[in-house]
A and B are shown apart, each in its own frame.
Chain A
Amino acid sequence: MGGLTRRRVIAILALTSILLITMDLRNSSSVSSARRLFGAIFHPIEGVTRVVTTPINNIWHGITDYGDVSQDNKRLKDLIARQEGATIANIAGVREAQELLALNGLPTLAGIDSCTGQVVGQSPSNFSQTVEINRGRRCGIRVGMPVLNAAGLIGKVTESLDDRAVVMLITDPAYSLSVKIVNQPPPKVTVPNKVPESPENQTTTTTSTTTTTTTTIAPKSTIPGFTPGVTIATLPNASPNAPSSESTIAGDIRPGQGNVSQITVPPGANLPLRETGALEGRGLSRAPIVRFIENQPRFGVVYIGSPIVSSGGATSLAPPDIVVGTVSRIISRTGTLGPLLEVKVAANLESLNFVRVLLYQPTTERPSAP
């Protein structure tokens, strides 16, 4: 490296730098090629160093980020506590719904007895998905009864002995069940309102006179002053015998004010839409699918993550509203064929332990009288 005078070194380095900076600022392809070539040499070395230095990096972050992690932990605990509260509220809501269903003579899970058992063995066959549980006929278990665990439906009883029963899992190709897919309502498109030029309608609220097309996702009553499902109270001074001029005008209802008549808007518009289909198992390594979903415009597009529950019915293998899983993939098909839905089963079928057999024998599984 010797032999270069100080001036020459400085001059050469300065000129080289100026040349390179100029080339790079003018987006020279040779500079890009040099970067790519160097990247090809450097990235493997960088990868090895990254692996080697990961423990040191972790120690560093363990020391320096400890406070942040603690705060995050506290925040997440608060979040879990709030969600647990919401879960309790939801459970209460489900309970009320079950009571309402029972009050109206509709079938609910709450009214069905059950027998809890433990999985004691699995099928040695590669072609059937069954498990054996340590409860049987003595507990009231019969062929065809649905079996659940804490997460959801896992299958049905296919054989019942005194203290043993064989349960076919819902992934078994021989398993089929009528299910419901609970979908969210499709986005609602508000068409331009044509406003008649009558004096009454001229005094109507200004929100109905809009002429722009808007897409509103949240379902909302188009009647001004009304909330879906809310009964509007009668004004104290408004009576049929002494109608005021204001109360007789159609649509003269403003938020916070009432009308002479009580009108209840049914809350059906914002309820999730449901569609039925048939769930079929496809083996343990493949997700079950739901067939025979109809292409109904009202039902709209099925979203990934939409819950799937048993549909119930006289010939169904399971009572209604047992959680099966969620939609994990949608396979569209042409024509009138509805989509095929792959199902992510809620229960972990590979690690089953305690299960609950609902003592509900479907009519199709009952032995016919001699």
Chain B
Amino acid sequence: MNRILTIAQQPLTRLFLVALIVLSFQTTIFNTMRPFGVCLQVMLLLSTSSGLARGSEIGAIAGFIVGMMYDLVLSTPLGLGAVVFALVGYLAGMTNSFVHQPTWWTKMLLAGAASGLGMLFMPLALTIVGREGVMNRHILVVALVVGVTNAAATVPAERLCGWVLSEPSEVR
């Protein structure tokens, strides 16, 4: 029993469980609510928020796990979303390196920028693996809308990821 509790308290376990719930929202409500015809990317928000909360290394690992879970329900090649989300998490985590004592609005801006970049990296990666017809002008709209909405939701998402990725001793 103690062993199960220990496993459950691990940050990666918590991340998996929280990402599972967020993924269910992504595939249901956010799949149908499409402002300007763009599907909002809360899984990407989870990656950027992980980077913002815990730095670039942990952000990259968290992004990789979240992206991998997203790949498992999408038709994209497994690992493609993982690498893009890992890159986004890494970039978001570099905020702490660039900005001294980042405020809430700088985090919003950086998270929005990282999310927008992620939405540009994704079609690029798809094109590299041979998927055609994904590079078009619409990706700019997608990047803009996803960047703005993810920026707006950064503060609560960062707090959630801060709790999810904290070590067991910190939680207690």
Contacts and interface: CB of A to CB of B under 8 A. Distances in A.
Query: A and B: real partners?
Result: yes
Contact of B129 (A25, A41, A42, A53): A25
A260 interface: no
B78 A21 contact: yes
- Residue from the set B57, B61, B78, B165 with the largest chain A CB neighbour count within 10 Å: B78
B78 A34 contact: yes
A257 B47 CA distance: 78
A109 interface: no
A88 interface: no
Interface string B66-97: 00110011000111101100100010000000
A6 B91 CA distance: 12
Interface in A12-30: 13-14, 16-21, 23-25
Given A1-B165, A9-B57, A34-B72, A49 B28 contact: yes
Contacts of A34: 72, 78
B73 A42 contact: yes
B56 interface: yes
Contacts of A50: 24, 28
Contacts of B72: 34-35, 38-39, 42
Contacts of B109: none
A6 B21 contact: no
A253 interface: no
B165 A42 contact: no
B90 A24 contact: no
Interface in A65-98: none
A20 B20 contact: no
Q: Is the interface of B mostly helix, strand, loop or mixed?
A: helix
Interface in A285-339: none
A4 B61 CA distance: 11
Given A1-B165, A39-B73, A46 B28 contact: yes
Given A10-B90, A17-B86, A35-B72, A42 B23 contact: yes
B39 to A, nearest CB: 13
A103 interface: no
A248 B24 CA distance: 81
Contact of A13 (B25, B27, B83): B83
B77 A4 contact: no
Interface string B134-146: 0000000000000
B11 A13 contact: no
B79 A45 contact: no
Contact of A6 (B12, B56, B167): B56
A20 B69 CA distance: 13
A35 to B, nearest CB: 5
Nearest to A44: B24
A45 B72 CA distance: 15
From A1, A4, A41, A60, name the one whose CB has the most chain B CB atoms within 10 angstroms. A1
A56 B11 contact: no
A40 to B, nearest CB: 11
B121 interface: no
Contacts of B23: 42, 46
Contacts of B64: 13, 16-17
A3 B113 CA distance: 29
Contacts of A19: 79
16 contacts: A1-B12, A1-B58, A4-B61, A6-B57, A10-B60, A13-B64, A20-B82, A24-B77, A24-B79, A31-B78, A38-B69, A39-B73, A42-B73, A46-B27, A57-B28, A60-B29
Interface of B: 11-12, 20-21, 23-25, 27-29, 32-33, 54, 56-58, 60-61, 64, 68-69, 72-73, 77-80, 82-83, 86, 90, 129-130, 165, 167
Q: Which 6 A-B pairs have the closest CB atoms?
A: A20-B79, A17-B83, A49-B24, A53-B29, A38-B72, A24-B78
